Amino acid sequence: MSIFDKFADIRNTLAELSANGQNPLEVRFDEINSPVEGMVGGKRVLLFGTSNYLGLTFDADCIEAGVHMLRESGTGTTGSRIANGTYTGHASLESQLANFYGKRTAMVFSTGYQANLGLISALAGREDHLFIDADSHASIYDACRLSSAEVIRFRHNDADDLARRIARLKDKPGCRIIVTEGIYSMLGDTAPLREIAAVKRESGSYLIVDEAHSMGVLGARGRGQCEAAGVEADVDFVVGTFSKSLGAMGGFAVSDLEGFDLLRVAARPYMFTASLPPSIVATVSAALHRIQKDPSLGARVRANGLRLYRGLQKAGFLLGPQPNPVVAVKMPDRECAVTFWKYLLAEGVYLNLALPPATPGSLALLRSSVNAQHTDEQIDCAIAAITRVGVRLGLIKPAAPDPRVNHPEKLALPAE
């Protein structure tokens, strides 16, 4: 018996993907030329699956800040802040984040995943109760496993179901902690934070909101769904990442609650992970400054998301519930999703293949994400390619021919 026998299902799935002609895990980018274009197998592809929402990965000021700090402070910190101390940049970035969100204080983690892992597992004690949305990110589920609290799932985006589940525990001791997200990463839907905040107030609970996919995207100042919904005062902790809108890596948590800094010696993922390299901290600081200086970035990515959503909706695809920078196309089954994804890559459009069990409701999805740097022409090109593949696979009907066009474009797809 092999220690890897327990992964037989995974092994079989990967073998099936490879047998189909293209395993998404084996895609190799020869080059990334910009936030919107790359090269795969010597061919140019449009990038619609990066979650690089504001397109800041090639921002000149961010790059220069990182290069300068790389030369000034070296390649890394080689240890945690508990062991190796806090660099000036770490403290400065935490102050920037706290000011950006209008909160008392902030903590910076080495990844967004660790931000959830550290915050939730440290906050939720033995007699406490965690109420998490059923469609929560893996980092939230793993944080719950690390905590000693009772974990209760409520139906996705259902504040009434949340209220009922909290009410059942009214006579039990311990804190009630609600965890939700701003934008959900698979279907692109937003949380009903006004209703959830009302439940939080009525039940005396604490509220954590993960704004990983909504920071820089929603709200007049880019502070996410909490700002857009007008409930920032009701949110006790905001968690986020630097790997989406800020174009780097790392994570954070901010709060107004007194005692928040105690988590620096209570959150194990914070205590025992090497802190972010100074060069990364510098690029994040520059990106955060850019968001504050140029609020039009958020408006552009929202407009681009709407353009992609409406174009695919008009073509006849079944999409997620609302337009956002994340636009998901629902597939009838896994096999169709894999084939669709393969054909799209051949067409020069890269997006994400999302399959169960990583998806809500065991859906097979093609997950696309736009950013502020996509042009209208690039979005329309992606819509046209997705539509051509959809017609080829029989998922949608071809549009009625335009009498003004004498020679309709032929399908440029690989042979079956």
Which residues, other chains included, contact 126 with Cβ-Cβ below 8 Å and sequence gap of 6+?
Answer: 148, 149, 174
The per-residue pLDDT for 26 is: 84
Over residues 397-411, the pLDDT tens digits come to 998 665 554 544 443
Dihedral (Cα; 225, 230, 236, 242), 10-degree rounding: 30
- Which CATH number fits the domain that encloses residue 326? 3.90.1150.10
Over residues 253-270, the pLDDT tens digits come to 999 999 999 999 999 999
What is the number of residues in the chain?
Answer: 416
Percent of the chain with pLDDT over 70: 96
The answer on 131 and 32 residing in a single domain is no
244 is known as an active-site residue: yes
Using only the alpha carbons of the chain, give its radius of gyration.
22
The answer on 106 and 242 residing in a single domain is yes
The answer on 164 and 287 residing in a single domain is yes
Percent of the chain with pLDDT over 90: 89
Identify the sign of the CA torsion 328, 136, 301, 59: negative
**Among 72, 97, 110, 89, which Cα is nearest to 283's?**
89
Residue 291 in tokens: 């968001």
Residue numbers of the domain that contains 257: 58-293
Mean pLDDT of 368-375: 98
The per-residue pLDDT for 358 is: 87
- Which CATH number fits the domain that encloses residue 249? 3.40.640.10
**Residue 13 in this model has a pLDDT that exceeds 90:** no
Of residues 137, 200, 244, 374, which has the active-site annotation? Answer: 244
The per-residue pLDDT for 18 is: 81
Number of H helices, E strands in the chain: 14, 14
The answer on 367 and 321 residing in a single domain is yes
pTM: 0.94
The answer on 140 and 12 residing in a single domain is no
Over residues 234-249, the pLDDT tens digits come to 999 999 999 999 999 9
Output phi, psi for 173, to 5 deg: -75, 175
The per-residue pLDDT for 416 is: 41
Residue 398: DSSP 8-state: P
Of residues 51, 139, 185, 368, which has the active-site annotation? Answer: 185
147 is known as an active-site residue: no
The per-residue pLDDT for 15 is: 86
The per-residue pLDDT for 252 is: 98
As for how many domains the chain has, the answer is: 2
Does residue 372 lie within any of the structural domains? yes
The answer on 268 and 120 residing in a single domain is yes
d(CA 6, CA 154): 30
The per-residue pLDDT for 23 is: 79
Over residues 84-132, the pLDDT tens digits come to 999 999 999 999 999 999 999 999 999 999 999 999 999 999 999 999 9
216 near 56, Cβ under 8 Å? no
Does residue 405 lie within any of the structural domains? no
* Residue 19 pLDDT class (50, 70, 90 cuts): confident
Helix (H) or strand (E) holding 154: strand 150-154
The per-residue pLDDT for 148 is: 94
**Residue 412 in this model has a pLDDT that exceeds 70:** no
The answer on 280 and 236 residing in a single domain is yes
Over residues 158-216, the pLDDT tens digits come to 999 999 999 999 889 999 999 999 999 999 999 999 999 999 999 999 999 999 999 99
**Residue 360 in this model has a pLDDT that exceeds 70:** yes
Strands 349-350 and 43-47: parallel
18 is known as an active-site residue: no
The per-residue pLDDT for 1 is: 86
Which residues, other chains included, contact 119 with Cβ-Cβ below 8 Å and sequence gap of 6+?
Answer: 107, 143, 208, 237, 239, 253, 263, 267
The answer on 110 and 14 residing in a single domain is no
SS3 call for 47? strand
* Residue 413 pLDDT class (50, 70, 90 cuts): very low
Which residues, other chains included, contact 228 with Cβ-Cβ below 8 Å and sequence gap of 6+?
Answer: 190, 214, 218, 219, 220
Of residues 90, 213, 342, 374, which has the active-site annotation? Answer: 213
Q: What is the mean pLDDT of the chain?
A: 94
The answer on 308 and 266 residing in a single domain is no
Of 293, 310, 333, the domain-final residue: 293
The answer on 277 and 138 residing in a single domain is yes
The per-residue pLDDT for 404 is: 54
Residue 319: DSSP 8-state: B
d(CA 174, CA 196): 20
The per-residue pLDDT for 236 is: 98
The answer on 196 and 326 residing in a single domain is no
d(CA 119, CA 269): 9
The answer on 304 and 289 residing in a single domain is no
Does residue 166 lie within any of the structural domains? yes
**Residue 301 in this model has a pLDDT that exceeds 90:** yes
The per-residue pLDDT for 401 is: 62
Judge residue 37's burial from the number of C-beta atoms within 10 Å of its C-beta, 0-12 exposed, 13-18 middle, 19 or more buried: middle
